Each structure stands twice: as C-alpha cells, then as structure tokens.
Amino acid sequence: MNETIPTCRVTGHITLDDQDIYDPTLDVVRLRARVGMVFQKPNPFPKSIYDNIAYGPRIHGLASHSTELDEIVANSLDRAGLWSEVKDRLDDAGTALSGGQQQRLCIARAIAVDPEVILMDEPCSALDPIATAKVEALIEDLKGRYAIAIVTHSMQQAARISQKTAFFHLGDLIEIGETKQIFTSPKEEKTRDYITGRFG
Amino acid sequence: MTKKNSIKPTDWHSPEMTARIKTRYRKEKNFHRIGVIAITIAVSFLIILLGKISYDGVSGFFQTRIDTKITFSQSIIGVPSTMDKTAFQDQLKRVNFTRVLAASLQNEFPDVNSRSDRRRLLRIYSIGAREQIRLAISADPSLIGQTVILPLYAADDIDQVFKGNIDTSVPEANRRVKDKELSWLQTLIDDGRVYQKFHTRFFTAGDWNGRVYCRCAKQHNRSCDRPPRTNFLMADSPERAFLEKTSAAIMVLLMFLVAMNGLAIWLRQKFE
Amino acid sequence: MTETMIFSALVILSVLGFITAKRRSLNVAGGNISELHSLPRHYGYLASLRTILPGLLILVLWLLLGSAVIESMILSALPQSLFLETGTNAQALLLNKIRLVVEHGNKFGDNPDILEAATHYSSLYNKGLWGTFSLSISIALIGMFTAIYRIKPDFRARSKVERIMLLALILSSVIATLTTMGIIGSLIFESVRFFQQIPLLDFVTGLKWSPQTALRADQVAASGSFGAVPLFVGTLLISFLAMMVAGPVGLFSAIYLTKYASKKVRSIVKPLLEILAGVPTIVYGFFAAITVAPFLRDTGTIIGLDIASESALTSGFVMGIMIIPFVSSLSDDAITAVPKSLDDASLALGATKSGTIKQVILPAALPGITGAFLLAISRAVGETMIVVMAAGMKANLTVNPFESVTTVTVQIVALLTGDQEFDSAKTLSAFALGLMLFITTLALNIVALSVVRKYREAYE
C-alpha cells in the first residue's frame, strides 16, 4: 500500500514466505488479499454491513453462489465477535455502528478474504477503553488463526497482547525479540531509554 | 464459538483465480484508457474551436492595399488651398471624393469606357478609400492640383480574392466578382501594386465591414443584427469577408480572455 | 456647491471623527489599551460611521427626492396659459423645456415665462444644495460629537460597530432578494395577462406553435396557435444531445484527472478545460453556425443522411462542448470530497484502482455527480446564444436529431425583438414561455441541491 503515498521510501527487504513483497513482478492484488489491513480510524464503506463484509469476497470471486457468500459473511462477523450484535440488521449502514463496532467490522472485512497476515495500524487509538478492551480480546482470539502485526504507541498494550515486539525509532529498527525480554531486559540502550520513559 | 468452517482455504494460484485477476487488470487498463480518451476529446474540441477561428481570422489582421495614382484635381474638389483652415475642413466635408477617385482611375484605365464598367472599376476599392483620400488632402492642403500615389484599401471582395479565399474557377454567373474585375485586378497585381498590410485600424477604429455587412444585409432584406445563416454554396458570398473579420475579432476577444484566465491562475498559485 | 462637494465634506468629517475618537479613547484610558473594552480603532470606526451615515442619508434623500420636489414647486408657480393641454404629458413637455433652458441657456425658446421658470429652477436647486449641505453637515457633526462624547473605558464601541456592519450586510441581501422577487413578479404579471387571452391548458398541452395575432379586426386570428409542447420538446432534445456529449466526456475526464493523472498533467488539463468554460457563448454559436453546421450537412450528404443545416445535432453537439467543464469541474469536486480512507480500505482488500472507483468511490460520490448533471442540464435548457445562431426558427415536434427544431429560448428572443405591440398575445407569450422556463430550471436546481445535501450527510 506504500505506493499510494508518494513520499514513502523503503530500504531493506520485507518478505512474506521468503518472497520479497517489493519485487516488481509480484502481483499486488494477490498480496493485498493475503495481507489484510486494519486502519487507525475505522473506515467502513458507506454500504450495508453485509455489503461491507461481502466486498472482498465478491471482487476476488471467493463465493460461487449467494449461500456461500452468506456463509462467509456470517463466519467473518462471528470470528470478529460482531455476529450476535448485528445479525438482525445486516442491511443497516456500516457507518451507523459505534466506533468500536466499526473497527470490529473492519477487522471482519479483512478476515473475509481469508488472509494469512493481518496488519493493524494503531487499531485502538480512536476508541474508548471499553471498545479497546473488546478489540484487544478479539485480537487475542484471532492470533490462533492469523499472524497479526500491530503498530501501537502504548507500551502497555504491547506488553498485554503481543508475543514478540519490535522497537522502531525514527524509521530504524532498533531491536526485536520476545515481548518479555524486550520489556524486562532490553539489549539496546535506546530501547532501555524508551521503556524507562527517558524519552518518548 | 466459531462456526464450523465449510469453506476451503483460498487457492490464490488456481487457474480460475489467475484468469480472474488477469481480467481485472485488463479492466483496469481499459478504464485508464477511457479516461485518457475523454480528456483527449475535450482538449481536441478546444483546439479545433480555437484553431478554426484562428485559421479563418488570421488573414483578417491583414488588409489588401492597392497603390493608386490619385490626382487631387482642383476642379473636382473645387476648394482653393488658400482658404482658412476651419473653413477648408468644413468645405471638404461636402466634396464627393468618389468623383476624385473615378477621375484618377480614368487616367489609369483609359480603355474603360462604358458607364457600368466604370462603376465596376470603382467597386474594386473599399468605401474607406474615399476616407483615405479625404484624410490625405485634409492633412496637407497643398496637395491640391498634384498627383500622389496613395495605398488605398481594396474592397472586401477583392481583398478576399487576393487572399485566395474565393474560388475563381466557378462560372461567372455564380460569383460576385466578375471576370472584368478580375482582369483589372490582375493588371494591378502584375504592376506590383497590390499587397497586404497589417491592419492596425482593426484595433483602433471601427471596421468598415460593419457597414458593409449591414448594407449587403439590407440588400438581401435581412436584419442587420443577425449573423448570416444561409448556406455558403456561393463561393464568394459577402459572408466570406464577414467570416474573416468576425473570426479576427473573436481572436482578439479570446486572447484577452485567455490572458485574464492565465493571470487568475498565476495569482491563485502565487497565493496558495 | 455640488453634490460631490457635499460628499467630500462628509468624508473629510468622518476621517476627522476617526482620528479624534481614536486619540480620545487612548486619553481616556490613560494610554493603557487593556483598560478599554474595544481597541482604539473601534472607537474611531464608530465615530466615523456615526458621522457619515446620517449625513449620507440626507444626501441620498436629496438625490432621490430633490428634483421631484423642485419640479412640483415650479409647476405650481407657472401661469395656466402655458398649459396647452391637460394631463401629465403636457407637464412633462414643459418640464423638459425648462430643463433644457437651465442646462443650455436661452438658445431654446424665448418664452419669458419659461425663462423665468428656468431661473427660478436654478435658484431653487442652488438653495436646495446649500440646505442639504448645511443639514447633512450639522447632523454629521452631531453624530460625531455624540460618539466622541460617549467614549469611556467601558463603552462597547466594537459591538456597536459590528452591529452596523451586520445591518449593512442584511441590507445588501435584502436588496438582492427583492431584485429576484421583482424579476419573478414581473414574469408572473405579464404571464397572467397572456393567460387571460390564451387558455393555460392550450398553452401547456398544445402541439402547434405558430404565434400570430390579428392586426386588424377582420384578419383571420384563428391561424395563431400557442401550443408550447414543440418548443419544450425541442429544448429537451437539444439538451439531451448536449448531455450525451458532455456527460461521458466530463465525468471520465474528472475521474482521470482526480485518480490517475499526475500533478503535471492535472495542472495543464484543468486550466484548458476552464478555458472551454470561459469562451463566450456567442463564439460557440458562431462556431456552430459557420463550421459545425456545414460539416455535419456535408458529412450527411456523403453517407446518405439528410441532415438539415439547422439540425438539433449541430446545436446539441456544440452545447455539449460548452457544458463539458461544468460536468467535469463539479464531478471533480464530488470525487475529491470522498475521503481517502475509503480508497485505502478498498485497495487494502486487494481491489484494483478501477474496481475501487467503480464500486466504492463513484457510489459514494454519486449524489454530488447527480447534482452536477442536473445543474448542467439546467444550464443547457436555459442556453440562448448557441441555439439562436444555430437552431431553427420553425417549431417542429420531433425527436429526430437531424431535423431542424426550435427551442423555448429562441422563441423568446424572436418574440421580444419582433415588432409587435407589447400587449399583444404574441409578445406576451414570451413571458409565459419565460415563466415555464424559470419554473423548469428552478425545479431542476432545487432537486440537484437537495440531492447533494441529503446524501452528503451520509459520510460526514
């Protein structure tokens, strides 16, 4: 998605299953379906809840008939923990939900195309604490099935819900390791300074 | 509790998926192409519009002149040069300079005898030619009795013929400019006395053509303020001169508008 | 003494008032601005406004009413013998004569009564000017002194100044509104006179438009028919053809320029399209009549179609070119108003750019685009110059674009620039047509604006 930002510059390699994702011969459309993304501010389409979830499967032709599509939608909503809340109003606009519900809708939307990895860009920063708790619980549920990478500015959140943590500073990767190790005995000095609150 | 998943995991490299993705990329390319075609169409409309008007109008900035020997004959003008200045100008207003022109032309073309032929000969010159003669003598009264070469304006029809806008191979009956006039014109051209000059009066004074058009419109019993809408099958209808002059006027107007537009855009970018 | 001198005196006074008030406000606060309720310049503005506005009011009253008052005074003083006939026409003639003498001296007419009346007029006028001068200056001075006298640290000058500004703005919008209502009122008034002569139903449903009225009592007036249907069909046909050109070209241009074009391309093409919008419509009409019409006619002859030289296709096509920038610019606004987050969401799911545009962006921008189309249509319906020059004069009820049709606007021009009496049914029909046209474009505009407004709330 970085090509939509004109001033973005990337050095080094990022690989998914040993394939460089910036390889020009790589099909971006497939990649983006395999790597789902959830944005900082919830951005449901101004369509019905059903159509929001069904959008991805429809464009990729993942369902050969409508009952299959119904099943995919129901599954995704269920996995995102929204099914019980919206199952009676699937035709309502996606934008009519509360902030926390919208974010879970976006997560359900990303799940609907059966990704392998889900990227989340500060998924809870626009939410109140109760919604945050719900989303964090959801992430805990999902981690059994998908590889999830979260960007967060909250160290507490990182410590709460992650198994591995990477610390970036001004565009450089400083340290990466097991969460417990990063937070109790970081190897790099910058990491230590950040964790103890000397800056940031 | 998650439902039982009855859907197979997606095979992103199956032949159906690959074909589908290929189609989507093709649709993308087509969509892109349609956009390019759309703006190309819009811009070419603009180019055609401006181009056609410029093409028709550029020659309107130039006016055909004929160098003619004009004799400021005392007898015809009938005003002595010794008169007081204001009285002189006053008297000058009552002189019929067409006769001056006619007399001078008689000297140039001695074998033009019949009345209708002489009238035809006069019609080679524009109404403005009379004004030019009057202005010359008004500026320098001592010219009375002398013969001077003046660059007189050619009439609209002749102007168009000289610019090559009129098809002279059409049979005479379908033309306004008759063979006799063409032969006289040719004589003048061979003498090297016919040329084009930049028409600064187009910008400074009203053009004769407004009056010419009105006059010819009245001849055809049409109202003066409506532009011609009849067919242009006549190779040299008076509308040809009108077309040229109007296109030239539109060019000036559009140049002004484009300049204002450009200024507005520059200002907007400067203050952004 | 002239009106200009009075005005200049008022301006000078108001500037004086400004300076004095500003200085006094600083004095009253002992040089410390924070003690004052408003800034010193607000006290200055208040003083100058309170000076010039009352004075200007007097001046304006003089300008509006002065001549009328003087004229009635002159008329009542004239001897009866001068009135050759009774009635306002005679009075107006006399007044004219008197005015001419006042302006040009006694070159015109040597009637001693008129000369005396003229001198009387001049002296009254002069007295009036001096009176206005003294009255306006004194009121101005009173205003200035009351404003300055009241200056104390807690005097709320800024609020008062802002209230005056608010009143001025309200006055401007009232004038604009009243002007609009005046236009509509005159349309309705004249149309009512028309419908007293021709029944409304005949007008709205009649299929034959051939406006004639009898000049003499014994002429066959029944040959005139005022059925407006062919005119509206002609208008709609040409507008439809115009939208066929402008709709796709404008919309796809907008999509390309907003989503695909590089900044450089956009900065070149957008101004070019704006030039299309800036070309005067008479130039388009000229182009249509002189270039497009013969071209279409000749092309038609080549491929065996009979295309009239005043065909609907000519005007419709050129009108379409004129409307492209409207559609393109408004659609551009509608598309850029869709938040980028929707783009991101769709692309992140693996959609192509065109897929995103077709399935997410365009549906989201649809209200704005619909509004753009409706506004473009209303522009096409009301367009006059192009059709006057390129379309026909004879009403023709058809949907064949190759035939010559006439439109409502062309007929209005023809009827109002003709030489019929002003209250004949023929000329009045122009007002009825105008009223119909106004109602149509008003309805289109209202629908367009309400569609845009209603759906804009959806994602804001």
pLDDT digits 0-9 by tens, C406-436: 999 999 998 888 766 666 778 888 899 999 9
- Predicted confidence band at A166 (pLDDT cuts at 50, 70, 90)? very high
Nearest to C142 by CA among C52, C40, C22, C38: C52
What pLDDT does residue C83 have?
61
Do residues C226 and C150 share a domain? no
Report ipTM for this prediction: 0.89
CA dihedral A155, A157, A162, A164 (to 10 degrees): -10
Q: Which residues of B touch A71 (CB under 8 A)?
A: 6-7
Lowest mean pLDDT among B203-212, C311-320, C357-366: B203-212
Nearest to A1 among C341, C347, C458 (CB): C347
| A106 interface with C at CB cutoff 8 Å | yes
Residue C169: inside a domain: no
- Predicted confidence band at B129 (pLDDT cuts at 50, 70, 90)? confident
| B253 interface with C at CB cutoff 8 Å | yes
Lowest mean pLDDT among B4-18, B99-113, C439-453: B4-18
| B51 interface with C at CB cutoff 8 Å | no
Q: Which residues contact C448 (CB under 8 A, 6 or more apart)?
A: C370, C371, C374, C375, C378
Q: Is the pTM of this model over 0.90?
A: no
Nearest to C287 among B34, B52, B229 (CB): B52
For C354-358, what is the mean pLDDT? 91
What pLDDT does residue C219 have?
58
What pLDDT does residue C215 have?
58
Residue A197 has pLDDT above 90, yes or no: no
For C308-330, what is the mean pLDDT? 93
Nearest to B21 among A30, A62, A68 (CB): A30
* Domain boundary residue, one of C108, C140, C155: C155
Residue B78 has pLDDT above 50, yes or no: yes
Q: What pLDDT digit, counting tens, does each position of A78-98 carry?
A: 888 889 988 888 888 888 898
Residue B219 has pLDDT above 60, yes or no: no
Nearest to A139 by CA among A127, A150, A125: A150
Do residues C227 and C132 share a domain? no
- Contact residues, B window 81-120, toward C, CB-based 8 Å cutoff: none
The total of structural domains in chain C comes to: 2
Shortest Cα distance, chain A CAs vs residue C450, angstroms: 19
What pLDDT does residue C87 have?
62
Collapsing DSSP to helix, strand or coil, A19 comes out as strand
| C355 interface with A at CB cutoff 8 Å | yes
Residue recorded with tokens 């845009």: C452
For helices B15-58 and B239-270, what crossing angle results, to 10°? 120
C-alpha A20/C-alpha A25 separation (Å) is 10
Residue C204 has pLDDT above 90, yes or no: no
Q: Show contacts of C443-446: CB within 8 Å, 24+ apart.
A: C444/C374, C444/C375, C444/C377, C444/C378, C444/C381, C445/C374, C445/C375, C445/C378
The beta-strand segments (E) located in chain B are 62-71, 147-153, 194-198
Do residues C247 and C133 share a domain? no
Q: What pLDDT digit, counting tens, does each position of A107-159 carry?
A: 999 999 989 999 999 998 888 898 888 889 889 888 888 899 999 988 888 88
Q: What pLDDT digit, counting tens, does each position of C138-153 carry?
A: 988 888 888 888 888 8
DSSP string, C268-303: HHHHHHHHHHHS-HHHHHHHIIIIIHHHHHHHHHHH
Please check whether residue C391 is in contact with residue C404, taking contact to mean a CB–CB distance below 8 angstroms.
Answer: yes
* Domain boundary residue, one of C125, C155, C185: C155
Please check whether residue B9 is in contact with residue A113, taking contact to mean a CB–CB distance below 8 angstroms.
Answer: no
Q: Which residues of C touch B265 (CB under 8 A)?
A: 271
Stronger pLDDT, B207 or B116, i.e. the higher one: B116
Residue C179: inside a domain: no
Residue C213: inside a domain: no
Do residues C263 and C150 share a domain? no
Residue C349 has pLDDT above 70, yes or no: yes
Q: Which residues of A touch C342 (CB under 8 A)?
A: 43, 45-46
Cβ contact, residue pair A114, B24, below 8 Å: no
Collapsing DSSP to helix, strand or coil, C159 comes out as helix
Please check whether residue B194 is in contact with residue B185, taking contact to mean a CB–CB distance below 8 angstroms.
Answer: yes
B contact test, residue of C244, C245, C251, C253 with most B CBs within 10 A = C253
Q: Which residues of B touch A27 (CB under 8 A)?
A: 21
Cβ contact, residue pair C363, A43, below 8 Å: no
Residue A13 has pLDDT above 50, yes or no: yes
CA triple C214-C215-C221, angle to 5 deg: 10
Count Cβ–Cβ pairs < 8 Å, chain A vs chain B: 34
Residue C311: inside a domain: yes
3-state helix, strand, coil in chain C (%, to 5): 80, 0, 20
What pLDDT does residue C434 have?
92
Nearest to C278 by CA among B248, B39, B260: B260
Q: How far is CA C418 from each of CA C16, C177, C411, C437, rounded to the nearest angstrom? A: 57, 31, 10, 20
- Predicted confidence band at B227 (pLDDT cuts at 50, 70, 90)? very low
Residue C204: inside a domain: no
Shortest Cα distance, chain C CAs vs residue A45, angstroms: 6
What pLDDT does residue B83 have?
67
For C427-449, what is the mean pLDDT? 89
Stronger pLDDT, C391 or B178, i.e. the higher one: C391
Domain range summary for chain B, segments of one domain joined by +: 62-206
Structure tokens of B64? 């055909």
CA dihedral A95, A97, A99, A101 (to 10 degrees): -120
Q: Could you tell me if residue C415 is left (phi over 0), alpha (psi between -120 and 50 degrees) or otherwise beta?
A: alpha
Question: Facing residues of B148 across strands?
Answer: B70
- Predicted confidence band at B37 (pLDDT cuts at 50, 70, 90)? very high
Cβ contact, residue pair A93, C360, below 8 Å: no
Q: Which residues of C touch A30 (CB under 8 A)?
A: 350
C-alpha B65/C-alpha B55 separation (Å) is 21
Nearest to C260 among B27, B32, B257 (CB): B32
For B126-151, what is the mean pLDDT? 82
Cβ contact, residue pair A4, C343, below 8 Å: yes
Chain A contact partners (≥3 CB pairs within 8 A): B, C
* Amino acid (1-letter code) at residue C166: L
Structure tokens of B269? 């970018």
Please check whether residue C416 is in contact with residue C249, taking contact to mean a CB–CB distance below 8 angstroms.
Answer: no
- Contact residues, A window 17-56, toward C, CB-based 8 Å cutoff: 29-33, 36-37, 39, 41, 43-47, 55-56
Q: Which residues of B touch C256 (CB under 8 A)?
A: 32, 34-36, 38-39
DSSP letter assigned to residue C292: I
Residue B223 has pLDDT above 60, yes or no: no
What pLDDT does residue A198 have?
81
C287: CATH: 1.10.3720.10
Strand pairing report for C209-210 and C225-226: antiparallel
Locate the chain B residue with the closest alpha carbon to A76: B2
Lowest mean pLDDT among A39-53, B100-114, C253-267: B100-114
Nearest to B10 among A59, A74, A114 (CB): A114
Q: Which residues of B touch A34 (CB under 8 A)?
A: 12
Distance spanning both ends of chain A, measured CA to CA: 27
Top-ranked range on mean pLDDT: pick from A179-188, B89-98, B224-233: A179-188
For C193-211, what is the mean pLDDT? 86
Query: Residues of A near B (CB-CB distance < 8 A)?
Result: 27, 29-30, 33-34, 59-62, 68, 71-72, 74-75, 78-79, 113-114
Nearest to C389 among B24, B227, B253 (CB): B227
Query: Could you tell me what percent of chain C has a pLDDT over 70?
Result: 91
Do residues C296 and C408 share a domain? yes
Cβ contact, residue pair C348, A106, below 8 Å: no
Collapsing DSSP to helix, strand or coil, A163 comes out as coil
Nearest to B18 by CA among B10, B8, B6: B10
Shortest Cα distance, chain A CAs vs residue B22, angstroms: 10
- Predicted confidence band at C307 (pLDDT cuts at 50, 70, 90)? confident
Residue C387 has pLDDT above 90, yes or no: yes
Do residues C136 and C233 share a domain? no
Nearest to C349 among A41, A46, A55 (CB): A55
Structure tokens of B152? 């007189």
Q: Domains in chain A, start-ordered, CATH in brackets?
A: 2-162 (3.40.50.300), 163-200 (no CATH)
Residue C444 has pLDDT above 50, yes or no: yes
Cβ contact, residue pair C358, B25, below 8 Å: no
What pLDDT does residue A117 have?
92
Locate the chain B residue with the closest alpha carbon to C288: B49
Nearest to A43 among C341, C350, C352 (CB): C341
Cβ contact, residue pair C324, B42, below 8 Å: yes
Cβ contact, residue pair C349, A46, below 8 Å: no
Please check whether residue B178 is in contact with residue B236, taking contact to mean a CB–CB distance below 8 angstroms.
Answer: no
Do residues C260 and C134 share a domain? no
Residue B221 has pLDDT above 50, yes or no: no
For A161-167, what is the mean pLDDT? 91
What pLDDT does residue C222 have?
52
Cβ contact, residue pair A43, C339, below 8 Å: yes
Residue C15 has pLDDT above 80, yes or no: yes
C contact test, residue of A28, A29, A41 with most C CBs within 10 A = A29
- Predicted confidence band at C377 (pLDDT cuts at 50, 70, 90)? very high
Residue B211 has pLDDT above 90, yes or no: no
Nearest to A33 among C343, C350, C459 (CB): C350
What pLDDT does residue C28 have?
83
Residue C199 has pLDDT above 70, yes or no: yes
Q: Which residues of A touch C351 (CB under 8 A)?
A: 29, 55, 59
Locate the chain C residue with the closest alpha carbon to B55: C291
Shortest Cα distance, chain A CAs vs residue C454, angstroms: 14
For residue C397, what are the domain limits?
222-459
Cβ contact, residue pair C287, B254, below 8 Å: no
Residue C372: inside a domain: yes
Mean pLDDT, chain B, whole residue set: 76
Cβ contact, residue pair B28, C291, below 8 Å: no
Q: Which residues of A touch B11 (CB under 8 A)?
A: none
Strand pairing report for A19-20 and A35-38: unpaired
For B134-149, what is the mean pLDDT? 81
CA dihedral B204, B205, B207, B211 (to 10 degrees): 170
Do residues C124 and C231 share a domain? no
Please check whether residue C58 is in contact with residue C135, taking contact to mean a CB–CB distance below 8 angstroms.
Answer: yes
DSSP H or E stretch at residue C98: helix C88-104
DSSP letter assigned to residue A149: E
- Predicted confidence band at B155 (pLDDT cuts at 50, 70, 90)? confident
Please check whether residue B46 is in contact with residue C371, taking contact to mean a CB–CB distance below 8 angstroms.
Answer: no
Residue B213 has pLDDT above 90, yes or no: no
